Amino acid sequence: MSVSTTAIAQGVRTHWRTDRTPLLRLGLLLLATIATIVFFMTINTRGNWDFVLPFRARKVVAMAIVGIAISVSTVAFQTITENRILTPAIMGFDALYMLIQTMVVFFFGGHTLLTLDPKMQFGVEVAIMTVFSTALFWVLFLRSRYSLYLLVMIGIIFGALFRSLTNFAQRMIEPSDFAVLQDVGFASFNAIDESLLGVATVLVLASSLVLWRALPELDLLALGRERAISLGIDYQKSVAIVLMATIVLTSVSTALVGPVAFFGLLVANLAYLVVGSPWHRYTLPAAALLGVMALIGGQTVLEHVFGMNSTLSVIIEFVGGIAFIVLVLRRRPT
Amino acid sequence: MIEIDHVSKRYGDVTVVDDVSLTIPKGGMTTIIGPNGAGKSTLLSMMSRLIGMEAGRITVDGLDVTTTPSRDLATRLSILRQDNHLDARLTVRDLVAFGRYPYSRGRLTVEDRDKIEAAIDFMQLDPMRDRFIDELSGGQRQRAFVAMVLAQDTDYLLLDEPLNSLDMKHAVGMMRMLRQTADELGKTIVLVLHDINFASCYSDRIVAMADGKVLHNTSPDLLMTPETLASIYELDVSVHDIGGHRIGVFYR
Amino acid sequence: MSPPVSASRTMPIRLSRSIGLLPVAVLIVAVLAVISIAIGVYSLDWRSVLSGDGVDHSTMVLIESRVPRTIAVILAGATLAIAGLIMQLLVRNRFVEPSLAGTTESATLGLLAVAIFAPGIPIFAKMLVASCFALMGTFVFLAILRQIPLRSPLMVPLIGIMLGGIISSVTTFFAYRYDLLQSLSAWTTGDFSSMLRGRYELLWLAGGLALLAYIASDRFTVAGMGEEFTTNLGLNYRLVMISGMAIVAMVTAVDVVTVGAIPFLGLVVPNLVRLVMGDNARMSIPWIAVSGAGFVLLCDIVGRTIRYPFEIPISVMVGVIGSAIFLVLLLWRAPRVG
SS (H, E, C) C242-257: HHHHHHHHHHHHHHHH
Question: Higher pLDDT residue, B110 or B84?
Answer: B110
CA C233 to CA C228: how far, in whole Å?
9
Closest partner CB to A220 (pick from B98, B113, B121): B98
Q: pLDDT value at position A143?
A: 66
The whole-number pLDDT of residue C233 equals 87
Task: Identify the band that residue C140 occupies on the pLDDT scale cut at 50, 70 and 90.
Answer: very high
Residue C166 near residue A318, CB atoms below 8 Å: yes
Report which of residues A317 and A11 the model is more confident about: A317
Which residues of chain C lie closer than 8 angstroms to A150, CB-CB? 152, 154, 330, 334-335
| Residues of A (244-303) whose Cβ lies below 8 Å from B | 276, 278
Rounded to a whole number of angstroms, the distance from the CA of A91 to the nearest CA of chain B is 20
Of B69, B88, B121, the CB nearest to A223: B88
Residue A59: pLDDT band (50, 70, 90) is confident
Q: Is the CB of C155 inside 8 Å of chain A's CB atoms? A: yes
Please tell me the distance in Å from A144's CA to the nearest CA on chain B.
12
CB A237 within 8 A of CB A43: no
Average pLDDT over residues C300-305: 91
Interface touch B101/A231, C-beta < 8 Å: yes
Beta-carbon separation of A168 and C320 below 8 A: yes
- Residue C207: its pLDDT value, please? 92
Dist. CA B190–CA B213, nearest whole Å? 17
Write out chain A residues lying below 8 Å of B89, CB-based. Answer: 276, 278
Q: How far apart are the C-alpha atoms of C81 and C272, rounded to whole Å?
A: 11
More confident residue, A223 or A176: A223
| Nearest chain B residue (CA) to A81 | B87
The answer on pLDDT for A1 being more than 50 is: no
In chain A, residues with a C-beta closer than 8 Å to the C-beta of C154 are: 147, 149-150, 152-153
Distance from the C334 Cα atom to the nearest Cα atom in chain A, whole angstroms: 8
Provide the pLDDT for residue A179. 44
Burial of B97: CB neighbours in 10 Å, binned 0-12, 13-18, 19+:
buried
- Any A CB within 8 A of C263 CB: yes
Q: Is the pLDDT of residue C5 over 90?
A: no
| Closest chain C residue by Cα to residue A313 | C169
- pLDDT-derived band of residue C19, with 50, 70 and 90 as boundaries? low
pLDDT attached to residue A31:
94
Summarize the confidence of residues A41-46 as an average pLDDT: 81
Q: What is the pLDDT of residue C266?
A: 93
Report yes or no: A84 at the B interface, CB cutoff 8 Å: yes
- pLDDT at A230 > cutoff 60: yes
Share of chain C above pLDDT 90, in %: 39
Between CA B41 and CA A226 the distance in angstroms is 13
A83 touches B at CB < 8 Å: yes
What percent of chain A has pLDDT above 70?
82
Which residues of B fall within a CB distance of 8 Å from A278?
88-90, 94
Candidates C165, C177, C306; nearest CB to A321: C165
Question: Please, which pLDDT band fits residue A33 given cuts at 50, 70 and 90?
Answer: very high
Is residue A15's pLDDT more than 60? no
Q: How far is Cα C279 from Cα A272, in angstroms, rounded to an integer?
A: 45
Task: Indicate yes or no: CB of A325 within 8 angstroms of CB of C163.
Answer: yes
Please give the pLDDT value at position C301: 92
Q: What is the mean pLDDT of residues A305-311?
A: 72
C176 touching chain A per CB within 8 A: yes
pLDDT, chain A, mean: 81
Q: How close A74 comes to chain B (CA, Å)? A: 15
- Alpha-carbon span C181 to A185, nearest angstrom: 10
Residue A37 near residue A60 (C-beta atoms within 8 A): yes
Tell me how far CA of residue C283 lies from CA of B230, C215, C252, in angstroms: 52, 11, 23
Fold topology of C27-336 = ABC transporter involved in vitamin B12 uptake, BtuC (1.10.3470)
Average pLDDT over residues B70-82: 89
A-chain CB neighbours of B105 within 8 Å are 216
How close A231 gets to chain B, by Cα (Å)?
5
Mean pLDDT in residue range C194-216: 88
Taking an 8 Å cut-off on Cβ atoms, the answer to whether A83 and B87 are in contact is yes
* Cβ proximity of A93 and A253 under 8 Å: no
Q: A19 in contact with B at a CB cutoff of 8 Å?
A: no
Tens digits of per-residue pLDDT, B27-65? 999 999 999 889 999 999 999 998 889 899 999 999 999
Q: Would the CB atoms of A168 and C324 count as touching at under 8 Å?
A: no
Most confident of A42-51, A106-115, B71-80: B71-80
pLDDT at residue A85 is higher than 90: no
Is C331 close to A154, i.e. CB distance below 8 A? yes
Mean of all residue pLDDT scores within chain B? 90
Question: Strands B63-64 and B55-60, how do they pair?
Answer: antiparallel
Q: How far is A325 from chain B (nearest CA, A)?
A: 18
What DSSP line would sit under A18-65, residue for residue?
Answer: HHHHHHHHHHHHHHHHHHHHHHHHHTT-TT-HHHHHHHHHHHHHHHHH
Measure A196 CA to nearest chain C CA, in Å. Answer: 28
- For chain A, domains (ranges, CATH) are 5-331 (1.10.3470.10)
d(CA B142, CA C195) in angstroms, rounded, equals 66
Q: Is A219 on the interface with B (CB under 8 A)?
A: yes
Query: Highest mean pLDDT range out of A167-176, A304-313, B206-215?
Result: B206-215
Question: What are the CA-CA distances from residue A98 to residues A183, A249, C187, C192 (Å)?
Answer: 10, 14, 23, 26
The answer, for A230 touching chain B at a CB cutoff of 8 Å, is yes
Q: Is C144 on the interface with A (CB under 8 A)?
A: yes
Closest Cβ–Cβ partner in A14, A226, A332 for B50: A226
C169·A324 Cβ contact <8 A: no
CA dist., res. A77 & res. B237, Å (int):
51
Q: Which residue has the higher pLDDT, A9 or A251?
A: A251
Cβ contacts of A331 on chain C, cutoff 8 Å: 151
From the list A233, A278, A332, which residue is nearest B90 (CB)? A278
Say if the Cβ atoms of A230 and B113 lie within 8 Å: no
Whether residue C10 has pLDDT greater than 70? no
| pLDDT (mean) for C247-266 | 92
On the question of a cis peptide bond just before residue C263, with omega within 30 degrees of 0, the verdict is no
What count of CB pairs under 8 Å joins A to C? 124
Residue B105: half-sphere exposure toward Cβ, Cα within 13 Å: 8
Q: In what order do the strands lie in the sheet with B55-60?
A: B14-24, B2-11, B55-60, B63-64
Q: In chain C, what are the domain boundaries? A: 27-336
Identify which of A145, A168, A185 has the shortest CB distance to residue C172. A185
Residue C209 pLDDT > 80 = yes
Is A224's Cβ below 8 Å from some Cβ in C? no
Got the DSSP string for B178-240?
HHHHHHHS--EEEEE-S-HHHHHHH-SEEEEEETTEEEEEE-HHHH-SHHHHHHHHSS--EEE
Amino acid found at B67: T
Whether C50 shows a pLDDT value over 50: the answer reads: yes
What is the ipTM, given to two decimal places?
0.84
Whether pLDDT at B218 is above 70: yes
Selecting from B72, B74, B83 the residue whose C-beta is nearest the C-beta of A231 gives B74
**Has residue A67 got a pLDDT over 50?**
yes
For chain C, give the mean pLDDT: 84
Question: pLDDT band for position A187 (50/70/90)?
Answer: low
- pLDDT for A6 equals 42
Q: What integer pLDDT is reported at residue B157 of this predicted model?
A: 94
